[in-house]
Each structure stands twice: as structure tokens, then as C-alpha cells.
Structure 1
Amino acid sequence: MTPLAEIIVQRIRATGPITLADYMELCLLHPSFGYYATRDPFGKGGDFITAPEISQIFGELCGLSLAQSWTDQGSPASFTLAEPGPGRGTLMADMLRAMQAVPGMTQAAEVTLIEASAHLRQMQRQRLDQVRHLKNIEELPNKPLFMMANEFFDALPVRQFQRVETGWAERVVGLKEDGLRMGLSPPVDLPREGRIGDIVEDCPAAVAIMATIAGRIVACGGAAIVVDYGGWNGFGDTFQAVRGHSSEDPLANPGEADLTAHVDFAPLAAAAIRAGAAVSRPVYQGDWLLSLGAEARARRLYEAGDKGALDALRRLTDGQEMGHLFKAMAVWPKGAPPVPGFDELNADADDA
């Protein structure tokens, strides 16, 4: 049993089963034994590989997409360039390098990383100069905000509800003789349709964060791009653990594996629309990157000596790789040009 598992067991014995959201938060962010507080999980030597670690192409095109929005909105003389959950800082470094081609942009940018892990903050400072760290989205200043959120929302804690004969019951983490197990709470009031056995997931934190981001963009200008794996108004249990690039039981090794759930883009879009922002329909990551010139960039890198560039392009854009698993969505002020690669979603979200 891991040290964090012992802490969780003691808490359940003292106060009863905990929600899945509480379990995820403990596993990922416990200050002493949480997953992100104790390790570098990225890359071949870690537990998973994200798009920025596959190729600089991803970060460069993200940066140039935001750069075009910055230009389209009058090139604000001072703005926040932000990334929540920035990992090693690889994505931000690649975006900044691409943005240097846009006169005045990097000089106007206040590079800001939203990171709760002290361990990862130290890694990010080693990669990036003059970076500002915040602990949460709400601390962002009231100025134009240009944000890239890659694989951030999938790590936010989710609650799960299962349809039973008497309504919906919340799935909770309790105890069995040799460790942790999933169980069900008494029925709760949940205004959702479903059949017996259906599972739905709810991520209130994601909706609140998107409302804050969109509200800042509406008030001050800017744009945000969200890239993650997920869908639209989905059903089903998507809670999962990854360790050593393989799946494992999410309850088996608390604090030792990455825990995620698929992102439901529908409530994120609804939150942005309620805030008064324009929002795109989610598009496949592969289609979005190709529309921005990913193929031409890969060929230039290949010709310059990067012999892995074409394979990296395939991994990022192919439908059997990351190309269709991951979706991209953008938010920008009403009346401003759309973020490159995106079209505005109708307010009723029927065309998603």
C-alpha cells in the first residue's frame, strides 16, 4: 500500500466514503505524496507523452495561432500569455520561439504559468526566463488574455453518477478488506435522463474555470485555445489511470499513477457562451494542425535535418493516433475575427 493509500484509508475509516473528485484531488495534488508533487511524469522516461513533447510543430502552430489573434485584435501593448498545467514548460517555450517572428509580441507578453506543483514550478523556471507563476486561474490580471490549455482540463477532478432503479447514485471510493473499492451513495437528485447502469461524469471545476477565462476575454480581449481528449455530452465511465505508458486500475496505487477523465466540451462551450464570448465547435486536433500548415512545417524541419519530423506529424495528426482522439476548441471576443482554424459555434450549440 502506498503512503497516500494509507492516508486515504484512514480518512475513509474516520468519515466514510469519499467522492471520486476528492480521490482524484488527493492522488494528483497531495503536497507530500501527490502524483504531480513528486515526479516528472512526462516523456519516454515518465508515464505519458504529450503533443509538445512529440514535436516542436505543435507548440509553434499554437503560438502562431494566438499571435494571429493578437494581431487581429490590435496588437495590445501589454497582455498575459498564459498556460495552465504547463508541464515542463516545453509548449510555452515553443510558442514563444514562434512568436518572436511577430514584431513586438514577445516584448508585450507577460508569460504566466498556472501551476500548483512546487516541483513542476522549479522545472518550468529552468526552461523559461522571467516567468510568473500563479496557483489558480482566478489570479489572472485584468488585461488581455491569450491562453493555451493543452491536456489541462482532463486532469480536473470529476464526479460520477450511475443510474439505478430509484434514480441516480454517486459513485464513491470506499474500503474493502485489502484496499479501496468503488461503491454507490444513496440516490441523489440529478436532472439527467438515462437508462439503468448508465454513468455520467460532472466536472464543476472545469465549468467554473472556463467561465473565468471567457469572462476575462470578454472584458479585456484575448483568446484561448483548449486541446484535450473528450467529446460532446458524453456518457460512460472515462476515469482512468496511466503508469509507465500503460493503463492500470485507478484505485491500485494512489499517488503513483496519472489520473484523468475525458473532457466534455459541451458544458465548457456553454459556460463561454453564458459569459458572452464567441466559442468554436470542437474540431479534431489533426484537422486543426493541418489547417495551420503542420505538413509544410514538418517537411521544412525534415529537410533541415530533423529526420523524425514526418513521423511526429503522423502521430500528431493521423486519425489512428492523436489526430482524432484529441479535440481543439477556441474562445474569443464576440465581434473579433475567429481564432485561426476555428469557426464560431451557434449560440444554441446545435451544430456541434
Structure 2
Amino acid sequence: MARANAAYYATRDPFADFATSPEISQIFGELLGLWAGLVWQMMGSPGRIVLAEAGPGRGTLMRDALRAIRRALPDFAEAMSPHLIETSPRLIGELATALPDATIHSDLSGLPDGPIILIANEFLDALPIRQFVRRETGWTERHIENGRFIEVPADASFPANECGVVHEYGEAAEEFVAALAARIARMGGVALIVDYGSAQGGPGESLQAIRAGVPVDPLAEPGTADLTAHVDFARLAIAATEAGCSVSGPIAQGAFLAALGIHERTAQLGRAASPEMAVRLLAATRRLTSAEAMGSLFKTLAIRHPSMRIPPGFSA
């Protein structure tokens, strides 16, 4: 999965196959930028802070966030420095043009020391997973051989032991969150994870491949489709707390965006727009917030230094 996605992002335009929240509406990035500014104020407005995004795509979210920050929170704009975590050479080239003031890093460890506010939107779902299957003889792990799944005996244990049940383990996502939380516990800051998945975890198979907006066989033509799997937010929360942080959420994306004022911002922009644009803005907001679209499946999780209060958008 890691090799296939590395090839995919290096050679193809992912936004021809799927649309992320920042690409759907400018309001998404604007709200997250202002959210980051409020978090910075809650941290005591430190004079220097890293504003980072993991998996920035072509930079739409960060660009919208910076525009809102510079307009509404000039002190925060002066204090923060933008940083991006990206490994695709093709996307790095696009980001260097779109966000010339941002520093691009290949991994979390490259970010400069100090307090951090990090946003990861639809980043963890693309990290590789492992799949375990319960059989009558015990647990097996799925591997890929000659373009098909095979199963090999595995030393594994999961709560549900029904024969045929699949359990997914997002090892790479948990390792990223554990490292991020350890940094926040050591240096201060907050991270916002936005992705689709389960709040409680549990068994089930979610690996999928998307090409041109249509599901395809994940094993067919690797490197030509976007491979993702649902994020297990319950395990991410455990990884963060074990690394020394406090967590808020996960809560549904729709509720989080509503608390940040997405409906009010949509109405404000709509009043100054043409009727056609106003309709498009409203449709985009509904797509981001309604339970029938992205509002329920997508979740938000905040990871924060233990000394910090609950960040905006998350109720006590």
C-alpha cells in the first residue's frame, strides 16, 4: 500500500480522482486557519510558533488558512512560520510555487523545535495498514503475492474472534500520532486530525481504491488509484494519551465546522455573491456538514499539551 501510494502521488494528479474538503470549499481552510489563531491565543500568543500541515496536497488548505489569518489575525501571522510535510516530488514542486514562503519537510522530525499547531486533513487514511483475519486454525495476516491476497499465520489477538472477521491495524498512523504527541508533550502545541473513519474502532474491512471518482479493485494496476482505509480514532486517542498528551474528540466533522461558524460564513459570502455562486457555496457547505455526505463519516480529533484548555469546536 505504501509503495502503490508513493507511485500514485508521484505520477498522477490525485484531484482528478477525488475531492478533499479544502478543494470543495474555501471556507474549510479559512475556518481551520482562524481555529489555529484562536489556539495560538489560548497558548498565550507565543512570539514564535510553527504552523504545519501534514499531507498538504497542492496547498489549497494552507493557502486559504494563511489568507484568513493575515486578514483577521495579523499578530498570529507575524508569529507563525508555515511548514509542510510532503514526500511526493511532483507535489513538492507544486507546493513550492503555490506557497513560496512555506518550508517543506519529508517527515515530522524535520520541523523546527518549538510549540506547534499542526493540521492533518485526509492524511492518515492514505498511510499503509495491516489486515488480520480470524480462521479456524487461528489468526492470519494478509500479504500480497503476484497481485493477489494470501494469508500467513500471525501472532495476533483482537477482541472479536468470529471466523472470517477482518481487523485492520493502522500501524503507520499510530506511529505518526505517537511521535507527534510526544513532540507536543515536550515542546507544547496542538494538533488537529481530520479524516474519515470510526470513533470506536472495531472489526471490518475498509481498504478501498478510487480512480476517477469510482471505486476500483485495490490490487488492480497498483500506483494508478488512490488507496485509503478508515482511520481508527479510538486507537489514535490511546496513542496520543500514552505519549503524554490530552485529547478532545473525536467528534463529527459537521458538528465541528458548525461550531466554528461555517453556516454563518457561508451566508456572509452568499450575500455578496451572484445567485449561482451562492447556490454553489451552500451546496459545498452541505456536502461538508450533512450526515448524508461528509459530516458524519469524517471525524475531528484534537491532540493538545496537558496544560492547555479544550480547543475551539470541542465541547467540555
Partner of 2:286: 314
Partner of 1:111: 82
Q: Tell me the CA shift for residue 39 of structure 1.
A: 1.9
CA deviation vs aligned residue, 1:50-106 (integer Å, no higher than 9, x gap): 000010111111111111110011111111111111001000011111112113211
Q: Secondary structure at the match of 1:315?
A: helix
Q: Tell me the CA shift for residue 120 of structure 1.
A: 0.2
1:244 aligned residue (212, 219, 228): 212
Residue 91 (str. 1) matches residue 58 (str. 2): no
Measured on the aligned residues, the alpha-carbon RMSD in Å equals 1.1
Q: Which amino acid aligns with 2:53?
A: E
Partner of 1:37: 10
Do 1:69 and 1:337's aligned partners in 2 also have CA atoms closer than 8 Å?
no
- In the TM superposition, 1:184-203 aligns within 5 A as 184-185=151-152, 187-193=153-159, 194-203=161-170
Taking the aligned partners of 1:40 and 1:106, their CA distance within structure 2 comes to 31
Q: Secondary structure at the match of 1:281?
A: strand
Partner of 1:262: 230
Taking the aligned partners of 2:112 and 2:315, their CA distance within structure 1 comes to 28
Taking the aligned partners of 1:104 and 1:328, their CA distance within structure 2 comes to 26
Q: Secondary structure at the match of 1:182?
A: strand
1:225 aligned residue (182, 192, 196): 192
Q: Which amino acid aligns with 1:91?
A: L
Runs of 4+ aligned residues of structure 1 deviating over 3 Å after TM superposition are none
Q: Secondary structure at the match of 1:235?
A: coil
CA deviation vs aligned residue, 1:210-259 (integer Å, no higher than 9, x gap): 11111121122211100000002221111100000000000111110000
1:58 aligned residue (2, 9, 28): 28
Q: How many percent identity over aligned positions? A: 47
- In the TM superposition, 1:1-352 aligns within 5 A as 24-29=1-6, 34-42=7-15, 46-100=16-70, 101-175=72-146, 180-185=147-152, 187-193=153-159, 194-231=161-198, 232-305=200-273, 306-307=277-278, 308-343=280-315
Do 1:283 and 1:327's aligned partners in 2 also have CA atoms closer than 8 Å?
yes
Q: Secondary structure at the match of 2:180?
A: helix
Taking the aligned partners of 1:219 and 1:184, their CA distance within structure 2 comes to 41
Taking the aligned partners of 2:132 and 2:256, their CA distance within structure 1 comes to 33
Equivalent pairs counted in the alignment come to: 309
Q: Tell me the CA shift for residue 27 of structure 1.
A: 0.6
* TM-score normalised by the chain length of structure 2: 0.95
Do 2:247 and 2:303's aligned partners in 1 also have CA atoms closer than 8 Å?
yes
Q: Which amino acid aligns with 1:40?
A: D
Q: Which amino acid aligns with 1:38?
A: T
Q: Which amino acid aligns with 2:139?
A: W
Q: Tell me the CA shift for residue 191 of structure 1.
A: 2.4
Taking the aligned partners of 1:281 and 1:168, their CA distance within structure 2 comes to 32
Do 1:66 and 1:339's aligned partners in 2 also have CA atoms closer than 8 Å?
no
Do 1:88 and 1:124's aligned partners in 2 also have CA atoms closer than 8 Å?
yes
Q: Tell me the CA shift for residue 270 of structure 1.
A: 0.6
* TM-score normalised by the chain length of structure 1: 0.86
Unaligned runs of 5+ in 1: 1-23, 345-352
Q: Which amino acid aligns with 2:302?
A: A
Unaligned runs of 5+ in 2: none
Q: Secondary structure at the match of 1:104?
A: helix
Q: Tell me the CA shift for residue 343 of structure 1.
A: 4.0
Q: Secondary structure at the match of 2:52?
A: strand
Q: Tell me the CA shift for residue 196 of structure 1.
A: 0.3
Q: Secondary structure at the match of 2:14?
A: coil
Q: Which amino acid aligns with 2:141?
A: E
Q: Which amino acid aligns with 1:298?
A: T
Taking the aligned partners of 1:331 and 1:343, their CA distance within structure 2 comes to 14
Q: Tell me the CA shift for residue 141 of structure 1.
A: 2.1
Partner of 1:5: none
Taking the aligned partners of 2:178 and 2:140, their CA distance within structure 1 comes to 27
Do 1:65 and 1:340's aligned partners in 2 also have CA atoms closer than 8 Å?
yes
